[in-house]
């Protein structure tokens, strides 16, 4: 059904985000059914309408003998009709007045009023009750995943630490002007864009740029708000205010992208543009022309046929079974850990022609791990790793953490020793030196001749260690997309350990299945380096790579792609949020950032990339079921309309043509759950 800025049905409003309600206000008026929620007011209205309808049916038994008492059921029926049908009546006359056109709301209004005129009060109310059930079901489905986009604010820190009277105090980040120096401690998010004026260490920018490797920074380097200082205290001079920061731009991109998201037009609205006027005109002609043109024909008989025609033509089977079919499809997907935020997104998913993936955290784990041990001749892999773990035991760097974790998984202790006594296996803190961006120098037992070195190639060579090739591999700082940590002890080169991001389980299978589904192209769209992206794409079988992109660049790439056909984007980071919102369908890996989850249309709760082709396949099957319902409903109604025009249909047949076809279509819709 069509929605407008000033008039949204609750289900469509939740799916499309066209009506924003205050979340705290809603929370007190929602009724929860497991993981589903519905507004208490709408449920109360529905319950009241249902009870009044039942009361009217019961009252009909008292009016069988005729007389004035036969009108007794009219009061509960009219009351139930007003409660259940008020939104339909309002929209019917509003669309007719404002847009000068007829729609499915007008047809339902005309049909139900016609049912009242010919005495079928129960049917008139039943149509509205069925319609309301369909709306409530769809609304419950989309409310399950709907939460506020306000979680994006987590990217933009509220607090900044500035110096006041020689003391560092916390103030609101939005109050800090450009040029002010802020203090950032290890593990804290940088509140403002700026330049480092003191300190050096690693910056984790994965949530902003998509780059999985921490970036080493020192005095004079630029840093962005939203990134995290991994292991160092930094003094940063702000270059932009909070409202102009990188984090603020990300939020603005998401909001702008949501305003331009493609909204596939609902079939029922397009169908009603021609179906409704034809049905209404046909009913008028049937009521008026035959008595004027056929001798002996009575107006009463042909008006009765026209009203039967309107009852038969009521699109109850369509307006209930179509949203119910989508809901069943959404429910079936949710059982597999795939949450779809509304029917409009499921409808778009079945038309997917291009699927683009972010790299880090989506196709890969987004965590460093040991990918290879390359010891020199005469040194075992276990000895190489033991030496590296010993060197890295005091470091907070993510690569050091990966080496310790790799050692622990191989039975080599990764526990930190106490820095008391003698040496790193009992030693002084002064025996351990970490040079940011270079490496670690350790003297176990405080003896200079027993120095252990772990770092990049240049770090070892500066200290007189000759780095040799291992297994034909060049002795550079990395191998393909991996980072190499070179190890030496007592002046002897032991070899190197390769550390890199590892592929998610099922990532290659997911890409292969997408090809079998007829997806024209799979792409990798990432902020990671080209070398790293191309290596991952080759492993996974992805056909095209767009690397080194900032969030705005990603958005430009996806906008160009969406002009060629329906595009699906799969991501997990805050930097992916604008692209997830702008794509025809945005799919977030559920283990990713809250902002990505909120901006996405579909959420893979299990984090398994194989759910992406499964979602597309199930969306296509759901679409087939819905189209089957449409064909069945139109065919059945067309047949009964012919009988009605020929005078071969009575009111009971009209009821079957409406309610019976509706129930059969609903039963068919439930197939989408399987």
How do residues 30-41 score in pLDDT, each as one tens digit?
A: 777 665 667 788
Letter string b/e over residues 339-351, b meaning 16 or more CB atoms within 10 A of that residue's CB: bbbbbbbbbbbbb
59 vs 274, higher pLDDT = 59
- Which one, of 522, 397, 96, 139, lies nearest residue 276 by Cα? 96
Contact 643, 311 (CB under 8 A): no
Q: What is the DSSP letter of 189?
A: B
CATH 3.40.1110.10 segments of the chain: 366-397+427-503
**pLDDT in the model for residue 535:** 84
* Cβ pair 113, 85 in contact under 8 A: no
Phi, psi of 434 (to 5 degrees): -115, 120
Chain-wide mean pLDDT for the chain?
76
Residue 113 tokens, joined: 């009023």
CB-based contact 666:324 (threshold 8 Å): yes
Say how far apart CA 242 and CA 248 lie, in whole Å: 7
Distance (Å, whole) CA 480 – CA 244:
37
Q: How far is the CA of 310 from the CAs of 110, 128, 301, 305, 448, in angstroms?
A: 7, 15, 15, 9, 97
The alpha-helical segments, DSSP class H, found in 240-266 are 246-259
> Which fold, 332-364+504-618?
Rossmann fold (3.40.50)
Residue 358 annotated in active site: yes
Residues with Cβ within 8 Å of residue 440, at least 6 apart in sequence: 391, 392, 394, 395, 400, 432, 433, 434, 452, 453, 454, 455
* Homologous superfamily of domain range 366-397+427-503: Calcium-transporting ATPase, cytoplasmic domain N (3.40.1110.10)
pLDDT in tens, 401-441: 889 888 888 888 645 443 333 333 444 544 788 887 788 98
165 φ, ψ (degrees, to nearest 5):
60, 35
N residues, the chain:
674
Give every strand in the sheet of 222-223, ordered side by side.
167-172, 159-164, 181-184, 234-238, 194-198, 222-223
In words, the CATH class of domain 157-244 is mainly beta
pLDDT single digits (tens) 199-209: 988 888 665 55
C-alpha dihedral sign at 590, 593, 598, 602: negative
Residue 20 predicted with pLDDT over 50: no
Residue 266's pLDDT is 55
Taking each continuous run of H as one helix and of E as one strand, the counts in the chain are 23, 25
Q: What average pLDDT does the segment 69-97 reach?
A: 85
Contacts of 5 (CB under 8 A, 6+ apart): 18
Which residues, 6 or more positions from 497, have their beta carbon under 8 angstroms from its beta carbon? 370, 372, 373, 374, 384, 385, 388, 403, 406, 484, 485, 487
In sequence order, what are the beta bridge partners of 355? 522, 568
CA distance 576 to 550: 10
Catalytic residue selected from 103, 193, 358, 576: 358
Is the predicted pLDDT of residue 211 greater than 50, yes or no?
yes
Write the pLDDT tens digit of every residue in 340-364: 777 778 888 888 999 999 888 788 8
The pLDDT-based confidence of 145 (bands split at 50, 70, 90) is very low
Interval 512-534: pLDDT, tens: 999 999 999 999 998 877 887 88
> pTM to 2 decimals?
0.59
Question: Is 50 exceeded by the pLDDT of residue 13?
Answer: no
């Amino acid at each position: 059904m069509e929605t407008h800025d000033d008039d949204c049905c609750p289900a469509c409003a939740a799916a499309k985000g066209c009506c924003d309600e205050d979340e705290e206000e809603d929370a007190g008026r929602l009724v929860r059914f497991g993981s589903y929620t519905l507004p208490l007011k709408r449920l109360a209205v529905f319950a009241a309408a249902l009870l009044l309808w039942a009361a009217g049916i019961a009252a009909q038994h008292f009016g069988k003998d005729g007389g004035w008492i036969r009108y007794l059921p009219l009061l509960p029926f009219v009351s139930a009709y007003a409660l259940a049908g008020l939104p339909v009546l309002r929209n019917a006359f509003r669309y007719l007045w404002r847009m000068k056109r007829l729609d499915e709301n007008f047809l339902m209004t005309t049909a139900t009023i016609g049912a009242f005129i010919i005495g079928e009060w129960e049917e008139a109310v039943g149509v509205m009750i069925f319609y309301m059930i369909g709306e409530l079901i769809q609304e419950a489905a989309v409310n399950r995943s709907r939460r506020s986009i306000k979680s994006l604010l987590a990217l933009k820190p509220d607090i900044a630490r500035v110096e006041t009277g020689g003391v560092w105090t916390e103030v609101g980040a939005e109050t800090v002007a450009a040029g002010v120096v802020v203090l950032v401690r290890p593990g804290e998010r940088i509140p403002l864009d700026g330049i480092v004026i003191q300190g050096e260490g690693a910056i984790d920018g994965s949530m902003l740029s998509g780059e999985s490797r921490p970036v080493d920074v020192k005095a004079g380097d630029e840093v962005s708000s939203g990134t995290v200082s991994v292991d160092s205290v930094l003094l940063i001079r702000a270059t932009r205010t909070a409202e102009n920061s990188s984090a603020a731009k990300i939020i603005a991109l998401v909001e702008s992208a949501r305003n331009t998201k493609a909204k596939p037009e609902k079939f029922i609205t397009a169908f009603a543009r021609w179906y409704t006027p034809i049905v209404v005109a046909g009913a008028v002609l049937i009521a008026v022309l035959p008595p004027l043109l056929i001798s002996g024909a009575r107006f009463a008989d042909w008006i009765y046929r026209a009203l039967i025609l309107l009852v038969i033509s009521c699109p109850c089977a369509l307006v209930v079974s179509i949203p119910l079919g989508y809901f069943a499809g959404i429910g079936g997907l949710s059982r597999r850990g795939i949450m779809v935020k509304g029917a409009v997104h499921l409808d778009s998913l079945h038309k997917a022609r291009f699927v683009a993936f972010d790299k880090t955290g989506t196709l890969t784990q987004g965590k460093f791990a040991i990918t290879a041990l390359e010891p020199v001749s005469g040194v075992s892999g276990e000895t190489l790793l033991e030496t590296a773990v010993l060197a890295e035991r005091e470091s907070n760097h993510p690569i050091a953490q990966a080496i310790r974790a790799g050692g622990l998984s191989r039975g080599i202790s990764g526990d930190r020793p106490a820095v008391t006594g003698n040496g790193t296996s009992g030693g002084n803190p002064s025996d351990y030196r970490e040079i940011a961006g270079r490496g670690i120098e350790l003297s176990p037992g405080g003896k200079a001749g027993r120095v252990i070195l772990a770092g990049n190639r240049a770090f070892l060579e500066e200290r007189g260690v000759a780095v040799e090739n291992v297994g034909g591999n060049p002795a550079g700082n990395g191998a393909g997309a991996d980072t190499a940590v070179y190890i030496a002890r007592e002046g002897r080169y032991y070899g190197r350990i390769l550390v890199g991001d590892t592929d998610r389980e099922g990532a290659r299978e997911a890409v292969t299945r997408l090809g079998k589904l007829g997806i024209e192209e799979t792409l990798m769209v990432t902020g990671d380096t080209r070398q790293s992206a191309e290596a991952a794409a080759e492993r996974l079988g992805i056909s095209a790579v767009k690397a080194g992109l900032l969030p705005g660049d990603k958005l430009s790439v996806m906008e160009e792609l969406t002009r060629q056909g329906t595009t699906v984007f799969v991501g997990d980071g805050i930097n992916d949020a604008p692209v997830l919102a702008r794509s025809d369908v945005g799919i977030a890996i559920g283990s990713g950032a809250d902002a990505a989850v909120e901006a996405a249309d579909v959420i893979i709760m299990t984090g398994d990339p194989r759910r992406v082709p499964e979602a597309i396949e199930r969306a296509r099957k759901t679409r087939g079921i819905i189209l089957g319902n449409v064909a069945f409903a139109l065919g059945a109604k067309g047949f009964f309309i012919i009988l009605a025009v020929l005078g071969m249909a009575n009111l009971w047949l009209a009821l079957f043509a409406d309610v019976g076809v509706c129930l059969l279509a609903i039963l068919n819709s439930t197939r989408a759950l399987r």
